[in-house]
Amino acid sequence: MKNLEKYLEIKAEVKEALAAGKPVVALESTIIAHGMPYPQNIETALEIEDIIRANGAVPATIGIIDGKIKIGLTKEEVEFLGESDEIVKVSRRDLPVVLAEKKHGATTVAGTMIAADLAGIKIFVTGGVGGVHRGAEKSFDVSADLEELKKTSVAVIAAGAKSILDLGLTLEKLESFGVPVLGYQTEELPAFYSRHSGFNCDYKLESPEHTADILKAKWELGLEGGVLIANPVPEADEIEYSVINEKIEQALAEAEEQGISGKKLTPFLLDRIKEITDGQSLETNIALVRNNAVVGAKIAKAFSN
């Protein structure tokens, strides 16, 4: 924690809110730089900030500019991350290199959790978390997001794990790590594009206040680590699981044929699925992030109270 100001810059609006004990919601930037096409990436990022504000909280979009972790981005910085080709995808392993070499970076779920925790932000809204990839018994491809949820005390509101993953193995890993998977007004784990997955969450959350009580009980007991709050995509915007799963299988086969793996795999799959679904997956992606922002802001308000 020494010399943290050298690496961290907190936007005035966010700093004032934190000092006053007002609700603050962290937002990631990989969705801007690597998760959505231009210009929807920038439009969505700014719209999500507006939704957070409209629901009574302060947004803190997190990214890295010139080797500095920015806790809260300006409109110009969001546009820069969304337009530039020189943005590194930053998880835990990448942070020291990107900061030391004064590069620009977009933070993943894991990277954003670390930065939010350093700034004292406990609530984080994203689209979906990473997890155990399909075929991980051969590739050993497991997202660093799960390790971060194990150790970093931030609540992550997401539409479940990305449905390109092996959801059963992802849940097994989270159970091993002691990470609560809590369904927001649902007992079933949502599967990103779909409301249904066939897997159950650990517990069902009834309200923002109920959620805040559980978060406080966990952290006041000294039980370090994150919480995954699984919030289903609105029914009107979902893609049925059987339908999207067929498209995912096709995209996975193409990725394997082309030798695409590691940090390049998820952006490839999301882009390819968008093409295969004629853009419907992108519309669903935007809808679920909007919905997560509303729920996340309400939870942040309850938690700050």
Residues forming the active site? 28, 162
For residue 136, count other CB atoms closer than 10 A to its CB: 17
Integer CA distances (angstroms), 150 to 162, 166, 256, 259, in order: 18, 18, 30, 30
Cis peptide before 39 (omega within 30 of 0): yes
CB 45 within 8 A of CB 36: no
CA distances from 40 to 59, 129, 178, 213, 270 (A): 19, 20, 36, 36, 14
CA pair distance 109, 182, nearest whole angstrom: 17
Whether residue 33 contacts residue 73, with contact meaning beta carbons closer than 8 Å, is answered with: no
Find the largest Cα–Cα distance for the chain. 53
Separation of alpha carbons 267 and 59, rounded Å: 25
Pairing of strands 123-125, 8-10: unpaired
